[in-house]
Amino acid sequence: MNDDVFSFTESGGATENLLNSYEYLIEISQQLNSTLDLSALLHKIISAAERLTDTEAASIMLLDPKTGDLRFEITSNLNPNETDSIVVPMEGSTAGWIVQHGEPRVIEDVTKEPSHYHGVDDRLAFETRNLLGVPMRTHNKVIGVLQALNKHNDQRFNEQDIKILTTLASQAAIAIENARLFQQSDFIAEMVHELRTPLVALKASTALMLRPDLPEDRRVDIIHDMQSETERLISMTSDFLNLARLESGRAQLDKTDFDMQKLIRESVNVVQQQASDKDINVVITGGNFVVSGDRGKIKQVLLNLLTNAIKYNREKGTIAIALRPNQDQQDKSFVEVSVKDTGYGISKDNQQHMFQKFYRVANTAGFTQGTGLGLVISKHIVEAHKGAIWMESQEGVGSTFHFTLPLAQKY
Ligand SMILES: Nc1ncnc2c1ncn2[C@@H]1O[C@H](COP(=O)(O)OP(=O)(O)OP(=O)(O)O)[C@@H](O)[C@H]1O
Ligand SMILES: [Mg+2]
Protein backbone atom coordinates (compact mmCIF):
# COMPACT_ATOMS: atom_id res chain seq x y z
CA MET A 1 0.00 0.00 0.00
CA ASN A 2 2.72 2.34 1.03
CA ASP A 3 4.67 1.40 -2.04
CA ASP A 4 1.68 2.22 -4.25
CA VAL A 5 1.24 5.63 -2.70
CA PHE A 6 4.93 6.25 -3.12
CA SER A 7 4.98 5.23 -6.76
CA PHE A 8 1.86 7.31 -7.44
CA THR A 9 3.50 10.40 -5.95
CA GLU A 10 6.63 9.63 -7.90
CA SER A 11 4.88 9.30 -11.22
CA GLY A 12 2.63 12.27 -10.37
CA GLY A 13 5.77 14.29 -9.72
CA ALA A 14 7.33 13.16 -12.96
CA THR A 15 4.24 14.07 -14.97
CA GLU A 16 4.11 17.43 -13.28
CA ASN A 17 7.78 17.95 -14.11
CA LEU A 18 7.17 17.03 -17.69
CA LEU A 19 4.24 19.43 -17.94
CA ASN A 20 6.27 22.19 -16.34
CA SER A 21 9.08 21.54 -18.80
CA TYR A 22 6.76 21.70 -21.81
CA GLU A 23 5.06 24.81 -20.48
CA TYR A 24 8.47 26.44 -20.10
CA LEU A 25 9.48 25.20 -23.55
CA ILE A 26 6.43 26.86 -25.11
CA GLU A 27 7.10 30.08 -23.24
CA ILE A 28 10.78 30.16 -24.21
CA SER A 29 9.97 29.34 -27.87
CA GLN A 30 7.71 32.37 -28.00
CA GLN A 31 10.44 34.52 -26.48
CA LEU A 32 13.02 33.19 -28.96
CA ASN A 33 10.78 33.99 -31.88
CA SER A 34 10.49 37.59 -30.82
CA THR A 35 14.24 38.15 -30.31
CA LEU A 36 16.22 39.38 -33.30
CA ASP A 37 19.38 40.29 -31.43
CA LEU A 38 21.69 37.30 -31.99
CA SER A 39 23.71 37.66 -28.81
CA ALA A 40 20.60 38.00 -26.57
CA LEU A 41 19.16 35.01 -28.37
CA LEU A 42 22.19 32.82 -27.70
CA HIS A 43 22.10 33.72 -23.99
CA LYS A 44 18.42 32.81 -23.76
CA ILE A 45 18.94 29.48 -25.52
CA ILE A 46 21.70 28.26 -23.24
CA SER A 47 19.96 29.27 -20.04
CA ALA A 48 16.81 27.48 -21.25
CA ALA A 49 18.87 24.40 -22.17
CA GLU A 50 20.39 24.25 -18.68
CA ARG A 51 17.05 24.64 -16.98
CA LEU A 52 15.24 22.10 -19.15
CA THR A 53 17.87 19.39 -18.76
CA ASP A 54 18.85 20.24 -15.18
CA THR A 55 22.51 20.62 -16.05
CA GLU A 56 25.43 22.76 -14.88
CA ALA A 57 26.16 24.35 -18.23
CA ALA A 58 25.19 24.48 -21.88
CA SER A 59 26.92 25.58 -25.05
CA ILE A 60 26.23 26.35 -28.69
CA MET A 61 28.46 25.67 -31.67
CA LEU A 62 27.47 27.00 -35.07
CA LEU A 63 28.72 26.14 -38.52
CA ASP A 64 30.61 29.04 -40.05
CA PRO A 65 29.06 29.45 -43.52
CA LYS A 66 32.33 30.92 -44.82
CA THR A 67 34.80 28.27 -43.76
CA GLY A 68 32.56 25.30 -42.94
CA ASP A 69 34.21 25.20 -39.49
CA LEU A 70 32.26 24.45 -36.36
CA ARG A 71 32.77 27.37 -33.98
CA PHE A 72 32.02 27.82 -30.32
CA GLU A 73 29.57 30.70 -30.05
CA ILE A 74 28.66 30.73 -26.40
CA THR A 75 28.80 28.68 -23.24
CA SER A 76 27.18 29.39 -19.88
CA ASN A 77 29.04 30.89 -16.91
CA LEU A 78 31.88 31.90 -19.18
CA ASN A 79 32.72 35.05 -21.01
CA PRO A 80 31.45 34.76 -24.62
CA ASN A 81 34.55 36.65 -25.87
CA GLU A 82 36.76 33.83 -24.65
CA THR A 83 35.01 31.39 -26.92
CA ASP A 84 35.46 33.63 -29.97
CA SER A 85 38.13 31.83 -31.84
CA ILE A 86 37.59 28.24 -30.70
CA VAL A 87 37.12 25.98 -33.67
CA VAL A 88 35.94 22.45 -32.91
CA PRO A 89 37.28 19.93 -35.44
CA MET A 90 34.56 18.37 -37.58
CA GLU A 91 36.35 15.02 -37.74
CA GLY A 92 36.84 13.17 -34.49
CA SER A 93 34.71 15.37 -32.23
CA THR A 94 31.30 14.64 -30.70
CA ALA A 95 29.83 17.87 -32.07
CA GLY A 96 31.21 17.09 -35.53
CA TRP A 97 29.59 13.66 -35.35
CA ILE A 98 26.23 15.23 -34.41
CA VAL A 99 26.40 17.65 -37.37
CA GLN A 100 27.38 14.93 -39.82
CA HIS A 101 24.74 12.43 -38.64
CA GLY A 102 22.04 14.94 -37.74
CA GLU A 103 21.27 12.92 -34.60
CA PRO A 104 21.47 13.52 -30.85
CA ARG A 105 24.22 11.92 -28.81
CA VAL A 106 24.68 11.22 -25.11
CA ILE A 107 28.09 10.72 -23.59
CA GLU A 108 27.78 9.28 -20.10
CA ASP A 109 31.43 9.65 -19.20
CA VAL A 110 33.68 11.77 -21.36
CA THR A 111 36.82 10.21 -19.88
CA LYS A 112 35.79 6.91 -21.48
CA GLU A 113 34.94 8.46 -24.83
CA PRO A 114 37.88 8.69 -27.22
CA SER A 115 35.95 10.99 -29.61
CA HIS A 116 35.44 13.69 -26.98
CA TYR A 117 37.33 16.84 -27.90
CA HIS A 118 39.00 18.27 -24.79
CA GLY A 119 40.31 21.42 -26.46
CA VAL A 120 37.43 23.58 -25.26
CA ASP A 121 37.58 22.41 -21.64
CA ASP A 122 41.31 23.06 -21.61
CA ARG A 123 40.86 26.58 -22.95
CA LEU A 124 37.98 27.45 -20.64
CA ALA A 125 39.13 25.65 -17.49
CA PHE A 126 35.88 23.69 -17.31
CA GLU A 127 35.54 19.99 -16.63
CA THR A 128 32.91 18.22 -18.70
CA ARG A 129 31.86 14.92 -17.09
CA ASN A 130 28.89 13.98 -19.24
CA LEU A 131 26.97 15.62 -22.03
CA LEU A 132 23.96 15.55 -24.29
CA GLY A 133 24.39 17.12 -27.72
CA VAL A 134 21.59 17.65 -30.26
CA PRO A 135 21.62 19.02 -33.81
CA MET A 136 20.21 22.50 -34.43
CA ARG A 137 18.15 21.98 -37.53
CA THR A 138 16.26 24.31 -39.90
CA HIS A 139 14.57 23.16 -43.10
CA ASN A 140 16.57 19.93 -43.26
CA LYS A 141 19.84 21.75 -42.75
CA VAL A 142 21.94 21.43 -39.59
CA ILE A 143 23.32 24.84 -38.60
CA GLY A 144 25.02 23.80 -35.37
CA VAL A 145 24.93 21.86 -32.14
CA LEU A 146 23.35 22.59 -28.76
CA GLN A 147 24.96 20.80 -25.83
CA ALA A 148 23.93 20.37 -22.21
CA LEU A 149 26.83 19.56 -19.91
CA ASN A 150 27.07 17.80 -16.52
CA LYS A 151 23.69 16.66 -15.24
CA HIS A 152 23.11 17.80 -11.65
CA ASN A 153 23.37 15.29 -8.77
CA ASP A 154 25.13 12.76 -10.98
CA GLN A 155 21.88 11.85 -12.73
CA ARG A 156 21.90 10.31 -16.19
CA PHE A 157 20.44 11.91 -19.30
CA ASN A 158 17.08 10.29 -20.14
CA GLU A 159 14.73 10.12 -23.14
CA GLN A 160 12.84 13.18 -21.94
CA ASP A 161 16.04 15.26 -21.87
CA ILE A 162 16.80 14.22 -25.43
CA LYS A 163 13.29 15.06 -26.67
CA ILE A 164 13.09 18.38 -24.90
CA LEU A 165 16.57 19.54 -25.88
CA THR A 166 15.93 18.50 -29.51
CA THR A 167 12.71 20.54 -29.56
CA LEU A 168 14.47 23.53 -28.01
CA ALA A 169 17.32 23.19 -30.54
CA SER A 170 15.00 23.34 -33.55
CA GLN A 171 13.14 26.35 -32.17
CA ALA A 172 16.52 27.95 -31.45
CA ALA A 173 17.83 27.18 -34.95
CA ILE A 174 14.86 28.89 -36.59
CA ALA A 175 15.23 31.91 -34.31
CA ILE A 176 18.97 32.14 -35.14
CA GLU A 177 18.25 31.98 -38.88
CA ASN A 178 15.65 34.73 -38.48
CA ALA A 179 18.08 36.92 -36.55
CA ARG A 180 20.69 36.40 -39.28
CA LEU A 181 18.20 37.29 -42.01
CA PHE A 182 17.23 40.37 -40.06
CA GLN A 183 20.88 41.42 -39.80
CA GLN A 184 21.15 40.97 -43.54
CA SER A 185 18.09 43.11 -44.23
CA ASP A 186 19.49 45.72 -41.85
CA PHE A 187 22.65 45.75 -43.94
CA ILE A 188 20.64 46.26 -47.13
CA ALA A 189 18.74 49.15 -45.54
CA GLU A 190 21.98 50.82 -44.44
CA MET A 191 23.53 50.24 -47.85
CA VAL A 192 20.66 51.92 -49.63
CA HIS A 193 20.80 54.76 -47.14
CA GLU A 194 24.53 55.26 -47.86
CA LEU A 195 23.87 55.36 -51.60
CA ARG A 196 21.38 58.15 -51.15
CA THR A 197 23.93 60.83 -50.23
CA PRO A 198 25.95 60.77 -53.47
CA LEU A 199 22.76 60.28 -55.50
CA VAL A 200 21.11 63.33 -53.93
CA ALA A 201 24.29 65.34 -54.60
CA LEU A 202 24.27 64.20 -58.24
CA LYS A 203 20.63 65.20 -58.63
CA ALA A 204 21.33 68.64 -57.21
CA SER A 205 24.24 69.07 -59.62
CA THR A 206 22.16 68.13 -62.67
CA ALA A 207 19.51 70.66 -61.60
CA LEU A 208 22.19 73.34 -61.36
CA MET A 209 23.62 72.42 -64.76
CA LEU A 210 20.27 73.05 -66.37
CA ARG A 211 20.25 76.68 -65.31
CA PRO A 212 20.76 78.82 -68.42
CA ASP A 213 22.48 81.64 -66.51
CA LEU A 214 25.24 79.36 -65.15
CA PRO A 215 28.73 80.79 -65.83
CA GLU A 216 31.14 78.51 -67.69
CA ASP A 217 33.68 78.16 -64.84
CA ARG A 218 30.90 77.11 -62.41
CA ARG A 219 29.78 74.53 -64.96
CA VAL A 220 33.27 72.97 -65.00
CA ASP A 221 33.37 72.87 -61.19
CA ILE A 222 30.01 71.12 -61.07
CA ILE A 223 31.13 68.54 -63.62
CA HIS A 224 34.18 67.79 -61.45
CA ASP A 225 31.92 67.36 -58.41
CA MET A 226 29.69 65.04 -60.41
CA GLN A 227 32.71 63.04 -61.46
CA SER A 228 33.91 62.57 -57.90
CA GLU A 229 30.43 61.65 -56.62
CA THR A 230 30.11 59.10 -59.43
CA GLU A 231 33.49 57.62 -58.51
CA ARG A 232 32.37 57.39 -54.92
CA LEU A 233 29.23 55.59 -55.97
CA ILE A 234 31.26 53.10 -57.99
CA SER A 235 33.65 52.43 -55.13
CA MET A 236 30.75 52.07 -52.68
CA THR A 237 28.89 49.60 -54.84
CA SER A 238 32.02 47.51 -55.29
CA ASP A 239 32.55 47.57 -51.49
CA PHE A 240 28.97 46.39 -50.97
CA LEU A 241 29.38 43.61 -53.47
CA ASN A 242 32.71 42.53 -52.01
CA LEU A 243 31.33 42.46 -48.52
CA ALA A 244 28.18 40.58 -49.52
CA ARG A 245 30.36 37.95 -51.25
CA LEU A 246 32.75 37.67 -48.32
CA GLU A 247 29.90 37.38 -45.80
CA SER A 248 28.04 34.72 -47.69
CA GLY A 249 31.18 32.66 -48.21
CA ARG A 250 30.89 32.98 -51.99
CA ALA A 251 34.19 34.84 -52.33
CA GLN A 252 36.89 32.52 -53.62
CA LEU A 253 40.54 33.01 -52.75
CA ASP A 254 42.79 32.96 -55.75
CA LYS A 255 45.97 31.85 -53.96
CA THR A 256 49.54 32.26 -55.15
CA ASP A 257 52.92 32.62 -53.45
CA PHE A 258 54.18 36.20 -53.63
CA ASP A 259 56.66 38.60 -52.09
CA MET A 260 54.90 40.66 -49.44
CA GLN A 261 57.38 43.54 -49.46
CA LYS A 262 56.94 43.98 -53.18
CA LEU A 263 53.17 44.12 -52.76
CA ILE A 264 53.57 46.72 -50.01
CA ARG A 265 55.75 48.90 -52.27
CA GLU A 266 53.23 48.53 -55.08
CA SER A 267 50.38 49.58 -52.76
CA VAL A 268 52.32 52.55 -51.41
CA ASN A 269 52.81 53.72 -55.01
CA VAL A 270 49.05 53.75 -55.52
CA VAL A 271 48.49 56.11 -52.57
CA GLN A 272 51.75 58.09 -52.93
CA GLN A 273 50.07 61.14 -54.44
CA GLN A 274 47.45 61.22 -51.70
CA ALA A 275 50.24 61.04 -49.07
CA SER A 276 52.31 63.74 -50.78
CA ASP A 277 49.29 66.05 -50.86
CA LYS A 278 49.35 65.97 -47.05
CA ASP A 279 53.17 65.98 -46.86
CA ILE A 280 53.12 62.54 -45.27
CA ASN A 281 56.27 60.45 -45.32
CA VAL A 282 55.94 56.68 -45.82
CA VAL A 283 58.68 54.34 -44.56
CA ILE A 284 58.89 50.57 -45.05
CA THR A 285 61.06 48.32 -42.83
CA GLY A 286 61.55 44.56 -42.52
CA GLY A 287 62.78 41.71 -44.64
CA ASN A 288 61.41 39.67 -47.49
CA PHE A 289 58.58 37.28 -46.78
CA VAL A 290 56.86 35.01 -49.26
CA VAL A 291 53.20 34.83 -48.42
CA SER A 292 50.61 32.37 -49.66
CA GLY A 293 47.34 34.12 -50.39
CA ASP A 294 45.08 36.04 -52.73
CA ARG A 295 47.37 38.86 -53.86
CA GLY A 296 44.57 41.10 -55.16
CA LYS A 297 42.51 40.84 -51.99
CA ILE A 298 45.52 41.37 -49.73
CA LYS A 299 46.37 44.47 -51.76
CA GLN A 300 42.85 45.68 -50.96
CA VAL A 301 43.60 45.26 -47.22
CA LEU A 302 46.86 47.20 -47.57
CA LEU A 303 45.23 49.95 -49.61
CA ASN A 304 42.50 50.40 -47.05
CA LEU A 305 44.93 50.55 -44.12
CA LEU A 306 47.20 52.95 -46.02
CA THR A 307 44.31 55.19 -47.11
CA ASN A 308 43.11 55.29 -43.50
CA ALA A 309 46.62 56.07 -42.26
CA ILE A 310 46.67 59.03 -44.69
CA LYS A 311 43.07 60.21 -44.23
CA TYR A 312 43.22 60.11 -40.43
CA ASN A 313 46.79 61.40 -40.17
CA ARG A 314 47.93 64.96 -39.59
CA GLU A 315 49.71 67.12 -42.17
CA LYS A 316 53.47 66.31 -42.31
CA GLY A 317 52.86 63.07 -40.40
CA THR A 318 54.50 59.70 -41.03
CA ILE A 319 53.38 56.19 -41.86
CA ALA A 320 55.69 53.35 -40.85
CA ILE A 321 55.02 49.95 -42.39
CA ALA A 322 56.84 47.04 -40.78
CA LEU A 323 57.13 43.36 -41.63
CA ARG A 324 58.17 40.81 -39.03
CA PRO A 325 57.83 37.09 -38.41
CA ASN A 326 54.98 36.05 -36.16
CA GLN A 327 54.97 32.64 -34.52
CA ASP A 328 51.98 33.11 -32.23
CA GLN A 329 49.54 31.09 -34.22
CA GLN A 330 49.67 27.32 -34.09
CA ASP A 331 50.94 25.03 -36.85
CA LYS A 332 51.98 27.54 -39.45
CA SER A 333 54.39 30.39 -39.57
CA PHE A 334 52.85 33.75 -40.17
CA VAL A 335 54.18 37.12 -41.14
CA GLU A 336 52.93 40.18 -39.30
CA VAL A 337 52.44 43.43 -41.14
CA SER A 338 51.85 46.63 -39.23
CA VAL A 339 50.84 50.06 -40.46
CA LYS A 340 51.57 52.79 -37.95
CA ASP A 341 50.46 56.39 -38.30
CA THR A 342 50.91 59.64 -36.41
CA GLY A 343 47.27 60.67 -36.64
CA TYR A 344 44.49 61.60 -34.27
CA GLY A 345 44.34 58.18 -32.69
CA ILE A 346 41.15 56.43 -31.64
CA SER A 347 39.60 56.56 -28.15
CA LYS A 348 39.14 53.33 -26.18
CA ASP A 349 35.35 53.56 -26.62
CA ASN A 350 35.59 53.89 -30.38
CA GLN A 351 38.22 51.15 -30.66
CA GLN A 352 35.60 48.54 -29.73
CA HIS A 353 33.54 49.40 -32.80
CA MET A 354 36.36 49.72 -35.31
CA PHE A 355 35.54 46.50 -37.20
CA GLN A 356 31.76 47.06 -37.33
CA LYS A 357 29.91 47.81 -40.53
CA PHE A 358 29.37 51.50 -41.30
CA TYR A 359 31.07 52.60 -38.08
CA ARG A 360 32.90 55.90 -38.43
CA VAL A 361 34.29 57.99 -35.58
CA ALA A 362 32.08 61.05 -35.38
CA ASN A 363 34.79 63.72 -35.14
CA THR A 364 36.72 62.49 -38.19
CA ALA A 365 33.70 61.45 -40.28
CA GLY A 366 32.82 65.12 -40.76
CA PHE A 367 35.84 66.05 -42.85
CA THR A 368 36.87 62.79 -44.54
CA GLN A 369 35.04 60.67 -47.04
CA GLY A 370 34.32 57.04 -46.39
CA THR A 371 31.63 54.47 -45.87
CA GLY A 372 32.95 52.68 -42.81
CA LEU A 373 33.33 49.34 -44.60
CA GLY A 374 37.07 49.27 -45.32
CA LEU A 375 38.09 47.65 -42.04
CA VAL A 376 35.17 45.21 -42.07
CA ILE A 377 36.18 44.03 -45.55
CA SER A 378 39.85 43.85 -44.47
CA LYS A 379 38.94 41.69 -41.47
CA HIS A 380 36.97 39.29 -43.65
CA ILE A 381 39.86 38.98 -46.11
CA VAL A 382 42.52 38.43 -43.44
CA GLU A 383 40.38 35.88 -41.60
CA ALA A 384 39.61 34.02 -44.81
CA HIS A 385 43.40 33.50 -44.94
CA LYS A 386 43.30 32.23 -41.32
CA GLY A 387 45.15 35.35 -40.22
CA ALA A 388 44.16 37.92 -37.60
CA ILE A 389 43.78 41.70 -37.64
CA TRP A 390 43.88 43.99 -34.62
CA MET A 391 44.78 47.52 -33.67
CA GLU A 392 46.24 49.66 -30.93
CA SER A 393 45.90 53.38 -30.63
CA GLN A 394 46.57 56.33 -28.42
CA GLU A 395 44.57 59.48 -28.77
CA GLY A 396 46.63 62.38 -30.05
CA VAL A 397 49.61 60.09 -30.80
CA GLY A 398 48.48 57.70 -33.52
CA SER A 399 47.25 54.23 -34.35
CA THR A 400 48.84 50.98 -35.48
CA PHE A 401 46.91 48.33 -37.38
CA HIS A 402 48.44 44.84 -37.46
CA PHE A 403 47.53 41.80 -39.49
CA THR A 404 49.00 38.35 -40.02
CA LEU A 405 49.14 36.13 -43.09
CA PRO A 406 50.44 32.59 -43.60
CA LEU A 407 53.90 32.24 -45.10
CA ALA A 408 54.25 30.01 -48.14
CA GLN A 409 55.22 26.52 -46.91
CA LYS A 410 58.35 25.92 -48.94
CA TYR A 411 60.17 29.07 -47.81
N1 LIG B 1 44.39 54.97 -38.88
C2 LIG B 1 43.30 55.49 -38.32
N3 LIG B 1 43.37 56.53 -37.44
C4 LIG B 1 42.27 57.04 -36.88
N5 LIG B 1 41.01 56.59 -37.10
C6 LIG B 1 40.87 55.57 -37.97
C7 LIG B 1 42.00 54.96 -38.61
N8 LIG B 1 41.55 53.97 -39.40
C9 LIG B 1 40.21 53.95 -39.26
N10 LIG B 1 39.80 54.91 -38.42
C11 LIG B 1 38.41 55.18 -38.00
O12 LIG B 1 37.66 54.00 -38.24
C13 LIG B 1 36.58 54.26 -39.11
C14 LIG B 1 36.32 53.05 -39.98
O15 LIG B 1 37.38 52.84 -40.91
P16 LIG B 1 37.08 52.13 -42.28
O17 LIG B 1 38.34 52.05 -43.06
O18 LIG B 1 36.35 50.87 -41.99
O19 LIG B 1 36.03 53.10 -42.97
P20 LIG B 1 36.24 54.50 -43.66
O21 LIG B 1 37.68 54.78 -43.89
O22 LIG B 1 35.46 55.48 -42.87
O23 LIG B 1 35.47 54.26 -45.03
P24 LIG B 1 35.88 53.27 -46.24
O25 LIG B 1 34.75 52.28 -46.26
O26 LIG B 1 35.95 54.13 -47.42
O27 LIG B 1 37.19 52.62 -45.86
C28 LIG B 1 36.97 55.51 -39.87
O29 LIG B 1 35.85 56.22 -40.29
C30 LIG B 1 37.76 56.29 -38.82
O31 LIG B 1 36.86 56.98 -37.99
MG1 LIG C 1 38.88 53.18 -44.84
Q: Residue ranges of the domains in the chain? A: 2-181, 252-411
Could you tell me the fold of the domain covering 2-181? Beta-Lactamase (3.30.450)
pLDDT bracket for residue 112 (50, 70, 90) = confident
Name the percent of the chain lying above pLDDT 90: 57
CATH number of 252-411: 3.30.565.10
Phi and psi based region of residue 395 (left: phi greater than 0; alpha: psi -120 to 50; beta: remaining): beta
Question: How many other CB atoms are found less than 10 A from the CB of residue 258?
Answer: 18
At 315-350, the pLDDT tens digits run 999 999 999 998 665 555 899 999 999 998 999 999
pLDDT of residue 395: 92
Q: Which residue has the higher pLDDT, 32 or 65?
A: 32
Mutate to test the pocket of ligand 1, among 235, 242, 308 (most ligand atoms within 8 A of CB): 308
pLDDT of residue 388: 93
Q: Which residue has the higher pLDDT, 290 or 93?
A: 290
* DSSP-based helix, strand, coil % in the chain, nearest 5: 50, 20, 30
At 4-49, the pLDDT tens digits run 333 333 445 778 888 888 889 999 988 898 888 888 999 999 999 9
Give the Å distance between the CA of 374 and the centre of ligand 1: 7
pLDDT bracket for residue 376 (50, 70, 90) = very high
Pairing of strands 55-63, 389-394: unpaired
At 215-247, the pLDDT tens digits run 999 999 999 999 998 998 999 999 998 998 888
Atom of ligand 1 nearest to the CA of 355: 18
Pairing of strands 131-138, 105-107: antiparallel
Residue with CA at minimum distance from ligand 1 atom 28:
360
Give the Å distance between the CA of 305 and the centre of ligand 2: 7
For residue 317, what is the DSSP state?
A: -
pLDDT of residue 113: 84
Do 400 and 340 contact (CB within 8 A), yes or no?
yes
**Which ligand lies nearest to the CA atom of residue 369 in the structure?**
1
Residues in contact with ligand 1 (CB, 6 Å cut-off):
239, 304, 308-309, 312, 341, 343-344, 346, 354, 359-361, 364-365, 370-376, 399
pTM exceeds cut of 0.75 = no
Q: What is the dihedral of CA 196, 197, 201, 202, to 10 degrees?
A: -40
